[in-house]
Chain A
Amino acid sequence: MNVPRISRPLALFGGLSIFALLAVAHQTPAPPPRPEQANPQKTRALPLDPLTEQEKHEAEQVALRDPRVQELLGKGRRKTVSVDLTAIKPSQEEIQAAAAGRAIPMGRYAVVVFFRNEDEAGVRAVVDLAHETVTEVARLSSEQIPMTADDLAEAWQFARRDEEVRRALGPEAERYEVERTPPTPNAAPLGFVVRALRVRGTEEKDPCFHHRCLQLLFARGNEYLTQPTVTVDVSAQKVYVRRREK
């Protein structure tokens, strides 16, 4: 077979060049650098990594220091409903850079929702975690604010004092408790649990029309009590117990 001859030094040079190229081709791409942050000490996580408990606490504190939030919340009783991660869309150029594999300076933000008991209104604040500033504040109506396990605990405190509820639950009434965290896999169900669904009135004559009401569900192990239906108007601190005809 007539193979064209190549001088030895040229072959060596060629071989080394190919190996150099191969080395480049085989290199695992270095992980892209993390985006620049104003305060890297406080925001080591990537922008859409879940918020840590520390970050949630900080977001809440930053929001509470904001004069706009303070003004909307007033000085009465209030509570924090939620602290969740949110994302703000970067520019078109940044999006294209990210798609091409380059890190972009995307911020890390939290949305904090507060509830003020005085008039059952709420406040939503968007917190820039890196800069520890509030970028947006809005007032929320009562209907825009979800009810929580805290509301359920309050509702259960009212309901457990109601004679008819106690009668329905029988001697086990004192054993019921509000479920704060879901049971772990394969765990035996909690013995006596109170769960809840929010109910809304559809007509003005309904006591739950524009009020914050919870329908309580009573579970014993995996079973639920079917009667009576217990509804707590948390706004008016009233308990309604109703039995259905068969």
Chain B
Amino acid sequence: MSWRFFIGAALSLLALSAPVAAQTPPPWMPCSGINLVDQAFPTTGPEQTHWRLCWETVPQQGLVIHWAFFRPSPNARWIWIFWDARVSDIFVPYHQGSPRYYDMSDYSFPLTAIGGADCPGSLGGTPLGGNVCKQVHDRGLLWKNWSQVRRGEEVVLWAALGAANYNYIIEWTFRDDGVVLGRVGATAANLPGLPFEPHIHNPIWRLDIDFDGFWGDSVEVGTHTESIPVSTAADTEPLVWFEGGGDWDPHAFSELHVYDATLKNGRGDRTSLHLIPTPTGGLSRHNEEFTQHDFWVTHYNGFEMHARELPNYISPPEPVSNADIVVWYKGSIHHHPRDEDGEITAGGWWNGVALVMWTGWILKPNNLFDRTPFYP
């Protein structure tokens, strides 16, 4: 073999290996086996983005996410997103005033079993541990620009809480562009004693966002204002200084912006995560104080897990600027029973199920990438 061939082969191999050598090492994770999700995107071809996270099933709390990291490019460093993300409770008041159920905190409901029919392999599904489904699949268009187009992908984890007559689908989606979606879906049988009584399912999420680590996080309220009758508009971002609750206004496009004291992208712009409600129909208010706001911001306390205690958690209000913060969001599913939910059969038995009704939010990165992701 000629030495020229030898050097040529070596240089070729070096060129091929360059992207691998440039990758930042994965973060150490405190979980293993099926509880560790390590998902690079795209699923075929050279890696561009990457998620690494832990999950756990907890009686009473359903499917919980621990330690979620995202890497926006192979040679970028890993950015910490969540320390812990969970549905804290699902509050269900009926229109006539009672009953008023707390479907997560009041009873240790189990998760339902999940099999191939719930989580088909042909659709990218893998049942994990008997009651969790992981799905990796196409998610539709990521962007389109005339003749150019790119489809996106995502990894979804979901489980179903078996809350007596109801099943609640708890779903966490991690997209290739760094977006996270949280959704809860209500399904199964209407309350047997009151199958036609309208009610509202209010899932309340507790999101312990530790953006690039738990220190130095702050929250702003993104607010849009139209100066009617003048034709101008303005967007402002007032800082949340102390613990408290806030309201979603659809005309103001209200959202929470979580940012870290030092994290900036390669262009020197401040990076943030925008928590944006995606309600289906609306967001409810009830007599209970904790339901009288859509957003809450609290200082981290590992034992403050219960949504209905929120008014106590913020009394007296602690500073939450440049701190270790937790963000809470309450969604609502207004369930006005319909014939499609089921019927009462001979002997007074309820037969039928309500089709899945959803509510949720998205957590969208802002200035995390230096340029359009997945764009040539």
A202, closest chain B residue (CB): B98
Question: Once bound together, how far apart are the Cα atoms of A106 and B103, in whole Å?
Answer: 32
Enumerate A1-35 residues with CB–CB distance to B below 8 Å. Answer: 8, 11-12, 14-15, 18-19, 21-22, 25-26, 29, 32
Pairwise interchain contact B99-A199, C-beta atoms closer than 8 A: yes
- Which of A96, A106, A217 has the most chain B CB within a 10 Å cutoff? A217
Q: Which of B3, B67, B108 contacts A148 (CB 8 A)?
A: B108
Pairwise interchain contact A198-B107, C-beta atoms closer than 8 A: yes
User: Is A84's CB within 8 Å of the partner chain B?
Assistant: yes
Q: Which of A22, A45, A198 contacts B106 (CB 8 A)?
A: A198
Main secondary structure of the interface of B (DSSP, over half): loop
User: Is B110's CB within 8 Å of the partner chain A?
Assistant: yes
Question: Once bound together, how far apart are the Cα atoms of A199 and B98, in whole Å?
Answer: 9
Binds B, one of A68-76, A87-95, A159-167: A87-95
Q: State the B residues within 8 Å of A (CB).
A: 3-4, 6-7, 10-11, 13-14, 17, 20-21, 24-33, 35, 54, 56-60, 66-67, 69, 77-78, 80, 83-84, 97-103, 105-108, 110-118, 131, 162-165, 189, 192-195, 210, 213-215, 300, 302-303, 306, 324, 344-345, 348-351
Pairwise interchain contact B32-A49, C-beta atoms closer than 8 A: yes
Q: Which B residues lie within 8 Å of A47 (CB)?
A: 30-31
Question: Once bound together, how far apart are the Cα atoms of A224 and B352, in whole Å?
Answer: 10
Q: Which B residues lie within 8 Å of A18 (CB)?
A: 7, 10-11, 13-14
Q: Which of B164, B303, B344, B351 contacts A197 (CB 8 A)?
A: B164
User: Is A195's CB within 8 Å of the partner chain B?
Assistant: yes
Q: Which A residues lie within 8 Å of B28 (CB)?
A: 32, 97-98, 101-104
A87, closest chain B residue (CB): B66
Q: Which of B13, B101, B165 contacts A22 (CB 8 A)?
A: B13
A95, closest chain B residue (CB): B213
Q: Which A residues lie within 8 Å of B30 (CB)?
A: 46-49, 87, 98, 106
User: Is A191's CB within 8 Å of the partner chain B?
Assistant: no
Q: Which B residues lie within 8 Å of A147 (CB)?
A: 106-108
Q: Which of A49, A199, A217, A228 contacts B35 (CB 8 A)?
A: A49
Pairwise interchain contact B101-A197, C-beta atoms closer than 8 A: yes
Main secondary structure of the interface of A (DSSP, over half): mixed
A84, closest chain B residue (CB): B58
Enumerate A83-129 residues with CB–CB distance to B below 8 Å. Answer: 84-89, 92, 95-104, 106
User: Is A222's CB within 8 Å of the partner chain B?
Assistant: yes
Question: Once bound together, how far apart are the Cα atoms of A120 and B149, in whole Å?
Answer: 62
User: Is A223's CB within 8 Å of the partner chain B?
Assistant: yes
Question: Once bound together, how far apart are the Cα atoms of A227 and B347, in whole Å?
Answer: 9
Pairwise interchain contact B348-A48, C-beta atoms closer than 8 A: no
Question: Once bound together, how far apart are the Cα atoms of A241 and B205, in whole Å?
Answer: 35
